[in-house]
Amino acid sequence: MLAWYDAHRRELPWRARPGEAADPYRVWLSEVMLQQTTVATVTPRFQAWTARWPDFRSLAQASDDDVMTAWAGLGYYARARNLAACAKAVVAEHGGHFPTTEAALRKLPGIGDYTAAAIAAIAFGEPATVVDANVERVVARLFRAATKPAVRAAAEAITPRDRAGDFAQAMMDLGSAICIPRKPRCLLCPLRDVCAAFAAGDQVAFPVKTAKARKPQRYGTIFWAQAGDAVMLVRRPPKGLLGGMRALPTGPWVGEPPGTTDAPIAADWTMRNATVAHGFTHFDLQLALATARVERHALPGDAVWWPVESLGEAGLPTVFAKAAKAIGGA
DNA sequence: CAGTCGTGGGC
DNA sequence: TGCCCAAGACT
């Protein structure tokens, strides 16, 4: 396994070169960015992030607005809130350095079982057992293990005391490149000869997955209020969907197409002859587009007038960026 | 514990 | 094309 890893090792921005010590900050940041997010998406964002905030102290001093704006488009925005909180905790409670044990890491915001084990193993060489979706798939097939506890126990049994970090990364690389969900490339697999599912010919039956409910359809309205060259943006509530993010004003997202009754300000609203569709994890959304030209008056609460030409720097989640593009900045 | 929480890519 | 999936955490 480790011989295969050494031979096929990929260079990634957060991965230490052989023989060099890993930077715990970069390991942590990459692990959080990579939660439910692909390497291709993360790579440029990781480069930009570390150029701006290279360590815990710089990130701990960043404003919440800057952090959330920098995270825009990556999704699962609680990660960004927890990232900022974790950096502050590391500086305030740990002198700017991570604790090195899995249990202590687990107490920090945004660090769960997987990430604690990954940091302990990769950054500190602890023999922690790292189980992500890749490892779960590889181990489930290796042992034809049908339940999560069985997978966990088997993964612990094969985790080596030495090079546990390399072992974890090897298992994840194997899962993403060879032991893939649909058509595993077993003829390329270094573990083929010891794989129970390969022997039985039922690789794709593992891991055992539960049926998912169909996603409901919801409807809403986006309100584009333009005053001169600026558009009205709001700040969404700190928790919940797209929590803490800057946004275009919307009405409620409900089961039936709504009217314009929930506009953020009184104006002569025009319904555009187009809609924007966006899929979230647990529902699909279709948004009607309402636009109005208004006077540039004082705005309540967290609302601001934002220059349309620099809307790309507002840090809008993708659904709002889509809507802005559909309206065309008019 | 099952639901919540984004997004983009692959087939 | 619609569906499945991804280096999960939190409640």
Q: A168-179: per-residue pLDDT in tens?
A: 999 999 999 999
Instruction: Report d(CA A121, CA A166) in Å as an integer.
Output: 8
Give the closest nucleotide to A243 (alpha carbon vs C1').
B5
pLDDT recorded at residue A330 = 39
Q: Is A149 helix (H, G, I), strand (E, B) or coil?
A: helix
What DSSP element (H or E) covers A159?
A: none
pLDDT recorded at residue A241 = 97
Residue nearest to nucleotide B10 (CA to C1'): A182
Give the closest nucleotide to A284 (alpha carbon vs C1').
B6
Closest CA to A223 of A317, A164, A289: A289
Q: What Å value separates CA A94 and C1' B4?
A: 31
The answer to whether A204 CB is within 7 Å of strand B is no
pLDDT at A288 over 90: yes
Cβ-contact A325, A250 below 8 angstroms? no
The answer to whether A204 CB is within 7 Å of strand C is no
Cβ-contact A158, A164 below 8 angstroms? no
Catalytic residues of A, by residue number, are 31
pLDDT recorded at residue A299 = 86
Instruction: Report d(CA A88, CA A95) in Å as an integer.
Output: 10
Query: Looking at the domain A217-327, which fold is it?
Result: Nucleoside Triphosphate Pyrophosphohydrolase (3.90.79)
The answer to whether A85 CB is within 7 Å of strand C is no
pLDDT recorded at residue A329 = 54
CATH architecture of A2-205: Orthogonal Bundle (1.10)
Give the closest nucleotide to A135 (alpha carbon vs C1').
C7
pLDDT at A208 over 90: yes
Q: Which of residues 226-285 of A touch strand C (CB under 7 A)?
A: 281
The mean per-residue pLDDT over the stretch A121-127 comes to 97
Report the greatest alpha carbon distance in chain A: 72
Digit-coded pLDDT (tens) for A48-64? 999 999 999 999 999 99
Instruction: For residue A260, name the pLDDT band (cuts at 50, 70, 90).
Output: low
The answer to whether A318 CB is within 7 Å of strand C is no
Q: What Å value separates CA A300 and C1' C4?
A: 43
The answer to whether A280 CB is within 7 Å of strand B is yes
Digit-coded pLDDT (tens) for A29-43? 999 999 999 999 999
The mean per-residue pLDDT over the stretch A259-282 comes to 90
Digit-coded pLDDT (tens) for A85-123? 999 999 999 999 999 999 999 999 999 999 999 999 999
| Domain residue spans of chain A | 2-205, 217-327
Digit-coded pLDDT (tens) for A294-324? 999 888 788 999 999 999 999 999 999 999 9
Residues in CB range of A277: below 8 A, 6 or more apart? A284, A285, A286, A287
The answer to whether A255 CB is within 7 Å of strand B is no
In one-letter notation, the amino acid at residue A278 is H
Q: Do A2-205 and A217-327 fold alike per CATH?
A: no
pLDDT recorded at residue A18 = 85
pLDDT recorded at residue A94 = 97
Q: What is the mean pLDDT of chain A?
A: 95
